[in-house]
Amino acid sequence: MQCRYIAERTVGFFFLLPLLCSSLSLFGEDPLSLIIMGYGGRAQWLLLECLKQKGEISVIAICDDRAEECLDYMQNESHLLNPELKSKYDAAVQQVALYSDSPEDIRKMLQNHQETDLIWITSRNDRHFLHLTEVLQYSSCQRIFMEKPLFRTLDEFERFDWGLVKEREVVIGLTLRYSTMATIVAEWLQEHSHLLGKLQNVQAWEHLAFSHALHSFVLGTRCHRSMWGGLLLEKSIHDLDLALLCVSKCGFSPSKIDIETTAANRFFTNSNREEILQYCDDSLSIIVDQHLANYPLDDNFFMSDFIPDYHRCSARLFSEESDPIDVEVETDMSSYREQMERAVLLSFEKGQLLVDIMASCMTVTYEDGTCSNIDLHTNYGGHADGDRYVIKTILKEKMSSDHFYVTITDKIVKLANFIALVSEKQAVENTPKKHEKFDFRGN
């Protein structure tokens, strides 16, 4: 059941991939050898859509305690594949070796398959630290793709040995940063932000549609903080990364950060079951009602493993050269809404810049009231067409120089993950008004 859900949650990605997978031809006639660590939906769809473009892929190893179950699921659903794709898939996994997700088996797998072209770390967030560390220590593979976030806890971030990366490519799946949208916004800010004066604050928000919130973060596997972290870490790390990119393109480089967090369960609670159930059909109502019955009767989620349905992180960035800038990221599924709302708003001394991700539009408003609208050239979706460029990067397909190349050593990536992890720690400790200061040097 878990593998079925994980596969379903990423169906929306699959139509973006065919444009990218032709890049496999860069490897000549030899099959692309691939190790997959975490064979959930992201990895399954990635593999299938790449196989539609080129069959010469060899999955030589899968590290996942449920790998056999996932492979069986794919075989059972093979009637959904056309005969050619099924043949390619069967060939790709024909000689795959399966390994359990234990340190001993991980090391055995990496030592047995040293001549590997590419490794995917598409596992749960709580496995990223172990998987990445083991790959960097025991594999000679030079190209690694890891899904966001970097790690699940602040302790992991602080313990990670950044020196292990060396010259290797560790690409991070931050889809918004890869999008054409990010390039357009960054270039505009770099060339024209001076017309709006000093940047004062940045607000980013992602308000989830009810259906997405229910299936992903209430009923789905991502409802557990111990596995995935919270809403900011698992969902809005993209938005925080984009907000910090905007800050950097305005010439601001932070050295210290104050972080304050508010996190709570406001909508998906036991006492609110009747309102929630009215938005569900009869068959779904039974499942939802049974699930909500496991929630605390007094709606007190302190020390609970359920992800809060509301999270706001407020970070004040300090620089030695200029006044501080406030960055706020709000992730909200604490009310019913049919459509997702996702945007970044930059407020300056002399105007504002609004990046409406869902509408694929940037609106610049000047102090005299005049506005200009700029098309962001995306697919009008939540990921802003960034997935195609993520995979171009993974597979070494040549991209135009104006697209970002996002790796684990990128300072903005590290800063976004650091802020998110501190904020999630505050949320777990139930300290919504706790105010902490951290030094950050980006090294």
Q: What is the pLDDT of residues 162-186, one digit of tens each?
A: 999 998 999 999 999 999 999 999 9
Q: Domain for residue 164, yes or no?
A: no
- Is residue 137 domain-shared with residue 243, that is, in the same domain? no
With CA atoms as reference, report the closest residue to 347 among 320, 373, 328, 370: 328
Asked whether the predicted pLDDT for residue 106 surpasses 70, the reply is yes
pTM for this predicted structure: 0.89
**For residue 436, what pLDDT is reported?**
57
Asked whether the predicted pLDDT for residue 255 surpasses 70, the reply is yes
Instruction: Give the helix ranges, DSSP H, for 197-354.
Output: 210-213, 225-228, 231-234, 237-249, 273-277, 282-292
Q: Domain for residue 314, yes or no?
A: yes
- Is residue 186 domain-shared with residue 131, that is, in the same domain? no
- Is residue 56 domain-shared with residue 187, that is, in the same domain? no
Band the pLDDT of 322: cuts 50, 70, 90: confident
Task: For the beta carbon of residue 124, count every other beta carbon within 10 angstroms.
Answer: 21
Asked whether the predicted pLDDT for residue 433 surpasses 70, the reply is no
- Is residue 127 domain-shared with residue 181, that is, in the same domain? no
- Is residue 86 domain-shared with residue 135, that is, in the same domain? yes
Q: Domain for residue 293, yes or no?
A: no
- Is residue 314 domain-shared with residue 237, that is, in the same domain? yes
Instruction: Give the helix ranges, DSSP H, for 142-249.
Output: 154-159, 175-178, 180-192, 210-213, 225-228, 231-234, 237-249
- Is residue 338 domain-shared with residue 192, that is, in the same domain? yes
- Is residue 129 domain-shared with residue 246, that is, in the same domain? no
Which CATH number do you get for residue 185?
3.30.360.10
- Give residue-wise pLDDT tens across range 139-158: 999 999 999 999 999 999 99
Residue 39: strand, helix, or coil: coil
Q: Domain for residue 294, yes or no?
A: no
Asked whether the predicted pLDDT for residue 73 surpasses 80, the reply is yes
More confident residue, 28 or 347: 347
Which of these three, 105, 125, 147, is where a domain ends? 147
Do the beta carbons of residue 294 and residue 224 sit within 8 Å?
A: no
- Give residue-wise pLDDT tens across range 261-278: 999 999 999 999 999 999
With CA atoms as reference, report the closest residue to 257 among 168, 210, 202, 317: 317
Distance separating alpha carbons of residues 158 and 161, to the nearest angstrom: 8
- Give residue-wise pLDDT tens across range 376-407: 988 777 678 887 787 777 777 766 666 788 99
Q: Characterize the bridge pairing of strands 256-264 and 32-37.
A: unpaired
- The mean of the pLDDT values for the chain is 87
How many domains does the chain contain in total?
2
Question: What is the percent of the chain where pLDDT is above 90?
Answer: 68
- Is residue 259 domain-shared with residue 366, that is, in the same domain? yes
Which CATH number do you get for residue 139?
3.40.50.150
**For residue 429, what pLDDT is reported?**
85
Mean pLDDT along residues 302-326: 92
**For residue 437, what pLDDT is reported?**
59
Asked whether the predicted pLDDT for residue 49 surpasses 80, the reply is no
Mean pLDDT along residues 193-221: 95
Q: Domain for residue 172, yes or no?
A: no
**For residue 147, what pLDDT is reported?**
93
Mean pLDDT along residues 306-312: 95
**For residue 320, what pLDDT is reported?**
84
Note down the domain range covering 96.
2-147
Asked whether the predicted pLDDT for residue 57 surpasses 60, the reply is yes
Mean pLDDT along residues 230-251: 96
Contacts of 217 (CB under 8 A, 6+ apart): 208, 223, 231, 235, 307, 309, 333
More confident residue, 294 or 132: 132
Q: Domain for residue 109, yes or no?
A: yes
- Is residue 349 domain-shared with residue 201, that is, in the same domain? yes
Q: Domain for residue 431, yes or no?
A: yes
- Is residue 317 domain-shared with residue 190, that is, in the same domain? yes
Distance separating alpha carbons of residues 6 and 382, to the nearest angstrom: 18
- Is residue 204 domain-shared with residue 62, that is, in the same domain? no
- Give residue-wise pLDDT tens across range 211-221: 999 999 999 88
Give every strand in the sheet of 32-37, ordered side by side. Answer: 97-99, 57-63, 32-37, 118-121, 143-147, 169-173
Q: Domain for residue 428, yes or no?
A: yes
Band the pLDDT of 232: cuts 50, 70, 90: very high
